[in-house]
Copies of this chain bind each other. A is one copy, B any other.
Amino acid sequence: MTQANPFRPALAKMLPYAPGEQPPPGSCVKLNTNENPYPPPPAVVEAIRTAAGGPINRYPDPMATSFRRAAAEALGMPGPEWILAGNGSDEILTILVRGFVGEGQRLRLPYPSYILYRTLADIQGASWEQTPFEDGWKLPAEFAKSDDGLRLVLLPNPNSPSGTIVSPNEVEKVSASLTCPLVVDEAYVDFAETNCLDLVKRNENVFVTRTLSKSYGLAGLRFGFLVAQPHIVAELTKIKDSYNCDAISIAAATAAMGCQEWLADIKTKMNTTRAVMQSRLSAMGFEVTPSHANFVWCRHPDGNHKAIYEFLKQNNILIRYMQFADWGDGLRISVGTDEQMESCLSTIERALQS
């Protein structure tokens, strides 16, 4: 007497989110998922080793208090109650969608951008709408329009795949005309010159999400966080699993917050590499979108992006070929070490000549 399909109908209809390829470590030059090519700060590795010998038979602190204190201090926020720690910013995004968008309701994202938001809406049995960027990756007026069914607006800033950034001033204007919360996904913001933290301080409807995966070189650790006004953090705490962050990653992430000088140095180093990448790609005839993130989005007038991607892959260099329906395609290349970039760029030159 079993049901044919016991799953919620929303799941049967949806396609799973497909993350970028993850080949075995060391098997190729990996420039496809915007990881940091450098190891994390030594203090973080040391914190993990110390925590391994600590009381890991005991449950961790459910609220990751040490991390929240360190993060509030590092970011200049008023206190730990403005921070919610998560198992990667993916978990924070999941919690936000579960907190605000019910079955039959809707979220909004710009296009092209991070398609994970669509998957999160699909899982909820909610819907999503994409507002296309205007030329030059500007937000159109429609992005700031409200209606009753719209429950959450998400803006990756810097955006992927473009690497472009919308100014805090512009974000504030969008938020002012929305009746629902606006999430500014700042996964890449440590490589940019502006951010929206001040906006969070004075606006209860603007939330910022961050991750340690990119700038801190900790994609393997799964640690991200939300910055929002304390009553928002308190209510969202109901949704998270009690012990959503483990003792080892809490220790590591707390240590990472103490490494602001390391962070400034890695930013300088990677943004210098990024500048070289951009000028080399331009010299090859690519249209390069000036980037504020740790990747570069480029398109070649000759247009065979997929062939370039395939040629690189045959040469053990993995970049991201991205195709967006009704929009077009292009290549997204993560900023690697100078040696990796030399290898990647010279192989692209060969691809163009072949």
Which A positions have Cβ atoms within 8 angstroms of B? 1-3, 6-11, 14, 16-17, 19, 22, 25-26, 30, 33, 35-40, 45, 48-49, 51-62, 87-88, 90-91, 94, 98-103, 116, 123, 125, 146, 151, 177, 179-181, 204-205, 213, 217-222, 235, 237-239, 241-249
Contact = CB atoms under 8 A, between A and B. Distances in A.
Contacts of A48: 48-49, 51-52, 248
Nearest to A175: B2
Contact of A245 (B125, B222, B245): B222
A219 B39 contact: no
Given A52-B52, A59-B35, A7 B235 contact: yes
A55 B25 contact: yes
* Highest count of chain B CB atoms <10 Å: which of A3, A37, A53: A3
A22 B65 CA distance: 12
Given A19-B59, A49-B49, A247 B235 contact: no
Contacts of A247: 220-221
A226 to B, nearest CB: 14
Given A33-B59, A220-B247, A242-B17, A7 B87 contact: no
Copies of this polypeptide in the complex: 2
Nearest to A101: B8
Contacts of A248: 48, 220-221, 248-249
* Highest count of chain B CB atoms <10 Å: which of A60, A103, A246: A246
B243 A88 contact: yes
* Highest count of chain B CB atoms <10 Å: which of A94, A151, A241: A241
A88 to B, nearest CB: 6
B217 A243 contact: no
B58 A238 contact: no
Nearest to A241: B90
8 contacts: A7-B99, A7-B235, A8-B101, A25-B54, A48-B52, A48-B248, A221-B246, A246-B249
Contact of A57 (B26, B38, B100, B238): B38
B56 A22 contact: no
Given A88-B241, A99-B7, A57 B218 contact: yes
A238 B123 contact: yes
A241 B94 contact: yes
Contact of A22 (B59, B87, B217): B59
* Highest count of chain B CB atoms <10 Å: which of A36, A59, A125, A237: A59
Contacts of A217: 56-57
A14 B237 CA distance: 12
A2 B244 CA distance: 31
A36 B58 CA distance: 8
Nearest to A38: B57
Contacts of A239: 11, 123
Contacts of A22: 58-59, 61-62
* Highest count of chain B CB atoms <10 Å: which of A116, A151, A181, A222: A222
A209 B88 CA distance: 23
A44 B265 CA distance: 34
A58 B235 contact: no
B87 A87 contact: yes
Given A239-B11, A247-B221, A2 B88 contact: no
